[in-house]
Structure 1
Amino acid sequence: MAGKRKLPLDLLFVAGFVLLTDIFVLVPVLSGNFLRTYLGIFLVLFLPGYALTGAIFPAKKDLEGIERAVVSLGLSIAVVPIMGFGLNYTIWGIREIPVLTGLSVFTLFMCTVAYYMRSLLPEDEKFEVSFKASFLNTKTEILEKPESKVDKALAVILIFLILISVGGLAYIIGTPKEGDHFTEFYILGINRTTGDYPTEFVQGENGTVFVGIINHEYRPVDYTMEIRLENKSLPLPKNQRHVRLEHNMSWEEPVTFAPPVEGNNMKLDFLIFNETEKTVPYRDLHLWINVTKEA
């Protein structure tokens, strides 16, 4: 009678690490923690490749410890760009949440495939990880095998370079260089597209557009928004007139206004000011509208 199957320790670790990374990215309280960056690096650079390696090479004789680690790193570097290329042609695009979802689903699915492939093998042939045994085997392979000093030195240098590369990448991502400081400001039509702006109005009746602001200033900014029709301000609710955004935060809401006068080809300005300049607009957009009298 077959014994009870044990869940592979390494695959449990990978699945747990993926879920932990998802929590640190998705939970607002944790998303600002520095651990989020380092968890994300490990998810991108190693875990997808390790799960895929486990699915392709389920037997312990297929790859040795160092070989499995190097192949895992290489496959991750290959998988992530391919996934990003595919997402670029979807409605989700290359954004944080779609990329996180794609990597998580792929890694967990490959862990399932790896577990199934190992279950088809005899117990003494399937690959499994004992962290203590892995450390001792790695030590033996590097330091105690009857190889030349040159081979041992090259193996040590290879491991050292991999560690330096991963550490350097972690530092670069963990302390990113500031890019250009700017604010995105946009208006969309009623269906949140750029092709259905309202241009025909009846005097005194409401019109609506969606207005968006995205802060890329690397600091919190207090924005003041104003709508002007032929240089005359239109009333706005206080919560839409004053908007405070942290760096990399966005604001998008429907903004309703009522043109008070009739006319053709009138300029409707959408303006935002920052806290340092109250007289000159920081960003401005406009529409040309026609307003007719109420019938």
Structure 2
Amino acid sequence: MNLRDYWDLITIIALSLLLDILIAFYPDSLLRKALGLAFVLFFPGYVFITALFPEKKELDNLERLALSLGLSIAIVPLIGLLLNYTPWGIRLIPILVSLTIFNVIFALVAIYRRANAINPWIPRISIEKIKEELEWEQSSRLDKALTVILVIAIITSIGTLAYVVTHPRAGEKFTEFYILGPEGKADDYPTELFVGENGTVILGIANHEYRNVTYHVEIWLVNLTYDFETNRTIIHNMYLMDYFNVTLPHKPVDLESNWTPQWEMNYTFNIDKPGKWQLWFLLFKDERPPLPEPINGDYVQTNATQRILDAIEGKIQSLKLNIEVREI
């Protein structure tokens, strides 16, 4: 057994294992991204085709290359589909392990099949082999020119694809804005209070805007009703309870690890007026719109009411708690 006859398959096994090491210890390296491209778009199809067709006469080199690329594009989604029905799901580590196992198993099968083939196909890379494959000597000038253009186009396409993979566009820009109950769960909110009784919630913000952002948070106590006859929201009272701001850096979205908060605060409030109220939390990015002067502490007769109307229509990022306040 001459190991040189299996250099391509041994190389794929070694590179697949090397990629695992790079992802574990050097996840941001450029080599990892380059290897990952071949790992997904070439290796699975190549080992599969080589295992199926070990004989030289069965396929020519160009057919093997085309089928390797095409089958890789088919095999990877199928593995992802199977993982979707397992407890591990479609995540980086399960996909990496599954593809590595696939590449290693089929590479070993291909080695066995090639060792037992009568006239095995063994890739040899040389200028003479390339010319022979392209029938260079028998080609006309036009065919040679078209071949050169095709090769340049393929190299350019591979280079473009590599650039796109290694320089991905920024993902969707958004901000997490949420309220949790006092125990840190989306439950047990203080929706029924007595006059002057304290209520506590956890207010959280996470910045996924790909830049530093200064967030301005306004907390409003609002009494409103909806007129179904006129399809209008009528605001009866509107009091500014609190205001603060916080500047946060960008936090990357990590789908592999457990979710962790970026910024949270315990916010305690009390309401000194009985009735059915809505506690609105309005979030503004970078700049806070100017506020007019209230009338006896109530903003209902000012254009500040537009803030709540915009929040109801989804034009302002906001959160709301419905609270019933009773007399003691």
- TM-score grouping bracket, smaller chain normalisation: 0.5 to 0.7
Q: How do residues 89-238 of structure 1 correspond to structure 2 at under 5 angstroms?
A: 98=91, 101-102=94-95, 104-120=97-113, 122-123=115-116, 125=118, 133-135=124-126, 138-142=129-133, 147-149=138-140, 157-176=149-168, 182-187=173-178, 198=189, 200=191, 202=193, 203-208=197-202, 211-217=204-210, 220-224=211-215, 226=217, 228-230=219-221, 231-233=240-242
Please identify, of 47-56 and 80-89, the stretch whose mean Cα deviation from structure 2 is larger: 80-89
8 Å CA contact 1:60–1:126 kept in 2: the answer is: yes
CA distance in 2, matches of 1:5, 1:42: 23
Does the Cα contact within 8 Å between 1:269 and 1:286 map onto a contact in 2? yes
How far does residue 166 in structure 1 lie from its aligned partner after superposition? 1.2
User: What TM-score results when the alignment is normalised by the length of structure 2?
Assistant: 0.60
Classify 1:5/1:21 alpha carbon distance in 2 versus 1 (closer, same or farther; 3 Å). closer
Which residue matches 1:73?
69
* CA distance 1:26–1:120, shift in 2 (3 Å): closer
C-alpha RMSD over aligned residues? 4.7
In the TM superposition, residue 112 of structure 1 has moved relative to its aligned partner by 0.9
Q: What is the rounded CA distance, in whole Å, between the counterparts of 2:136 and 2:285 in structure 1?
A: 69
1:260 aligns with 2:270: yes
Instruction: Give the conservation status (yes or no) of the 8 Å contact 1:25–1:36.
Output: yes
Scaled by the length of structure 1, what TM-score is found?
Answer: 0.65
Aligned residues with identical type, % of pairs: 25
The question of whether the paired residues in 1 share the 8 Å contact of 2:214 and 2:285 is answered with yes
Between the aligned partners of 1:39 and 1:200, the Cα distance in structure 2 is: 55
1:259–1:291 contact (8 Å) kept in structure 2: no
Report the counterpart of residue 8 of structure 2 in structure 1. Answer: 10
* TM-aligned CA deviation for residue 287 of structure 1: 1.4
Cα pair 1:226 1:234 within 8 Å, conserved: yes
Task: Report the Cα distance in structure 2 between the residues aligned to 1:162 and 1:35, rounded to whole angstroms.
Answer: 21
Letter in 2 for 1:244: P
Tell me how far 1:136 sits from its aligned partner. Answer: 5.4
Q: Deviations over 1:121-162 (max 9, x none)?
A: 5455485756xx333563252366775547766665544432
Note if contact 1:226-1:272 (Cα within 8 Å) is conserved in structure 2: yes
The answer as to 2:49 corresponding to 1:53 is yes
Structure 1 15/271 Cα, relative in aligned 2: closer, same or farther at 3 Å? farther
The aligned amino acid for 2:320 is: L
Quote the Cα distance in structure 2 between the aligned partners of 1:152 and 1:129: 26
Partner letter of residue 9 of structure 2? Answer: L
Find the residue that maps to 2:156 and give its secondary structure. helix
User: What residue identity is the alignment partner of 1:18?
Assistant: S
Which residue identity is paired with 1:267? Answer: L
Change (3 A) 1:224 1:79: same
For 2:177 and 2:89, the matched residues in 1 are separated by 19
Q: Which of the pair has more CA radius of gyration?
A: 2
Question: Which one has the bigger helix percentage?
Answer: 1
- Aligned to 1:271, the other structure's residue is in SS state strand
Classify 1:187/1:90 alpha carbon distance in 2 versus 1 (closer, same or farther; 3 Å).
Answer: farther
Letter in 2 for 1:256: N
| Distance (Å, rounded) in 2 between the aligned partners of 1:192 and 1:128 | 63
CA distance, structure 2, for counterparts of residue 284 and residue 214 of structure 1: 13
Tell me the equivalent position of 2:281.
Answer: 269
**Equivalent in the alignment of 1:245:** 250
User: Which has the larger displacement, 279-288 or 252-261?
Assistant: 279-288
Deviates more, 1:247-256 or 1:15-24: 247-256
Hey, what's the Cα distance between the residues in 2 that align with 1:120 and 1:45? 23
Q: Measure the CA separation in 1 of the matches of 2:87 and 2:205.
A: 19
The Cα shift of 1:269 comes to: 0.3
For residue 287 of structure 1, what is the aligned residue in structure 2?
320
Change in Cα spacing, 1:242 to 1:108, as seen in structure 2 (3 Å) is: same
Q: Give the CA deviation at 1:234.
A: 7.5
* Kept after mapping to 2: 8 A contact 1:51/1:107: no
